[in-house]
Chain A
């Protein structure tokens, strides 16, 4: 660690003395590394189907056993992690890229623009995420891309709301008035003053949305609306395991555990970040 990072008041130091942050960070890092590793190496190739080897329990050759096509479950979970992370990342990205500007715009303009934007937001919010995802995939057909779009759309109003709430509380502050007295327009003030000051808020929200997106992707895949075979995905693995629960219960347990651990890790990371970045809590410590 650098000299600056070791000072007790530096954010890095506080982050790594915060228990939830450290555990969440370790889990997230582990899952990410696993996903990255799957690009270059997996224990077995997941695209070949050695059917003779099917439904093996965990063993030294296959740590987590094999599925009904004889594929190695560990390899599938590794490749599935890649899929989950990619979908969640792009979906949260879409939500932020569209939602944050919308929220900032609503806060800056106020009046009827604010009213219309936020009521439209409420409308999108009113549809359960899964329902709108099913609608989208029903229209455009199932697939990873459409799952991403569906989850992304569901994320837009959440980020718009968080960004607007943060921005609205900043606009009457005196440093914003001073910037306005300096002739700066709404767009420039938003970029220079509002965004840096709500960044921590958005970062915490993004971590939590990331966890929700992982879960949503798994649900869509379980319903057959996500990534299509032969691309392995955690939700799909759960669905396939369902009919063979009695014969080989481990088939359902491992992808389920993967989902639980990932979501737990991201939630812990979000909690930890919120503690570290919230200036109010920081002062009390």
Chain B
């Protein structure tokens, strides 16, 4: 008898089917990976197991956990299970914790509710479990509030709550998606250790094939609410019998063809050599301070230096990655270059003109040469404007304002450039999918024919297959139009796929830079080594899986 058995689970919201005939089993001590793109029904499967579905959803089929029929269980029976025998770790550690309660109280809550132990004993157990997830009381008193902890520490608290009562089954729904790669590796290690110690089953839900491969013994791949492939992790990924499995695996390791083609690379190299004389962008000794917290009415703490004496050059048509952990100053540097948030000191030269100290009016002709693509395809468009108006927004920078007809022509051309039809012009952003919106975002950046595009995590919010398409688009535009890129990312696969050079940032400084493959294969500095070691890599993970099996 398996620990968890799901047989023929169907779920619909109203009349709309969400899950179709899902089958899944987890044995005690087994780590089961559940992979799929957004909307494939991963989270709905997890919520069905926990019976946390909202009123309009109806589930049919059979879910048995530990010989209990979950779909037939009463709310009281489920309450006894949730948090006791089944623990759950959520994606967003900030919203999964109650901001007005201390971390100690939140961990103890579940213990007291399920075991009826005294307050003192619950506190004692809380102390032990927090120590176990790496938050020893000496350094992290239980009286801390969630906002006093970093993202990774908060996720440890969430894990402490979920594993406090040594559940037989732990469900982790994208537990590391909101964290950077180094924290991701730490949290995954912790999860692995905990389930190994307690011999509990783990259902690990993720969109990242590499993470799941690294962690899980068995894997289930879902698409559009159906299980398409299932089995032992190494088997499934080595054989790749199902076309969708192959598609997912290839998309995760995707490198745009233009960047593999030696001829294209040679042309690019030649172009760089040719342009040796002119630098497109020169960043010299840029620092950015933020005022410290107020410590009194008139006194402030020492200013916080987000970017510390950073210098680098960029040639026309070159593509550079800026990698580093979250909070290392990548985005601050990008804003300084874009003149959105002027640096405290240093020079930012675009085509040999220092733009760091210019006012808005003087900046106008220079802004035309550089544009920006943001991470969040939902937040980067004003929801109340049409696509035509949004994409033509940078045309404001033109010395001569185009006529309405000219503007429509230019928008149409920009849309064609990113592979969207002309009739997209009259729609609103909410009518597009995440990947299409990122294309719109690129179209907006292209409309002034810039020489430089700064892309702040442009693909990290996208599904792997869409991410592959967008990376292809970036490579193609670089090849065809000679646009230079600064890619800000924490994802080394993206850096590898698309950039010539990589710069590693750590605590506001650039600690290492060089040719992408060189730095990523043979990192020299400690921060770079940590990043490379922590980065999930599908090829490496599969190899390790095969090695373990002997």
Contact = CB atoms under 8 A, between A and B. Distances in A.
Nearest to A186: B360
Contacts of A183: 360, 363-364, 367-368, 394, 396-397
21 contacts: A174-B376, A174-B379, A174-B380, A175-B381, A178-B393, A178-B444, A179-B393, A180-B340, A181-B371, A182-B367, A182-B394, A183-B360, A183-B363, A183-B367, A183-B394, A183-B396, A184-B393, A185-B360, A192-B385, A196-B382, A197-B382
Interface bin, chain A: 10 to 19
B429 to A, nearest CB: 9
B145 interface: no
Interface string A70-108: 000000000000000000000000000000000000000
B384 interface: yes
A170 B95 CA distance: 21
A36 interface: no
A54 interface: no
Contacts of A51: none
B396 A184 contact: yes
A173 interface: yes
Residue from A177, A183, A188 having most chain B Cβ neighbours under 10 A: A183
B372 interface: yes
B338 interface: yes
Interface string A183-211: 11100100011001100000000000000
A217 B20 CA distance: 63
A179 B382 CA distance: 10
A175 B380 contact: yes
Contacts of A185: 360
Interface in B346-372: 360, 363-364, 367-368, 370-372
Contacts of B382: 175, 179, 192-193, 196-197
A178 B396 contact: no
Given A174-B374, A183-B396, A197-B383, 7 more contacts: A174-B379, A177-B335, A177-B372, A178-B441, A180-B340, A181-B371, A185-B360
B458 to A, nearest CB: 12
Contacts of A177: 335, 340, 372, 374
A173 B360 contact: no
Contacts of B384: 196-197
Contacts, number: 58
A183 B335 CA distance: 14
Contacts of B379: 173-175
A192 B374 CA distance: 20
A165 to B, nearest CB: 19
Interface in B372-407: 372, 374-376, 379-385, 390, 393-397
B360 A181 contact: no
B372 A178 contact: yes
Contacts of B393: 178-179, 182, 184
Interface in B419-471: 441, 444
Q: 8 smallest A-B Cβ distances: which pairs?
A: A174-B380, A182-B394, A174-B374, A174-B379, A183-B397, A182-B393, A175-B382, A196-B384
Contacts of A173: 379
A182 B371 CA distance: 8
B546 to A, nearest CB: 42
B396 A181 contact: no
A179 B360 CA distance: 13
Contacts of A193: 382
A178 B334 CA distance: 13
A200 B157 CA distance: 39
Contacts of A178: 372, 374, 380-381, 393, 441, 444
Contacts of A174: 374-376, 379-380
Nearest to B375: A174
A181 B441 CA distance: 13
Contacts of B394: 181-183
A187 to B, nearest CB: 11
Contacts of B367: 181-183
Nearest to B365: A183
A180 B375 CA distance: 16
A180 B363 CA distance: 11
Interface in A128-185: 173-175, 177-185
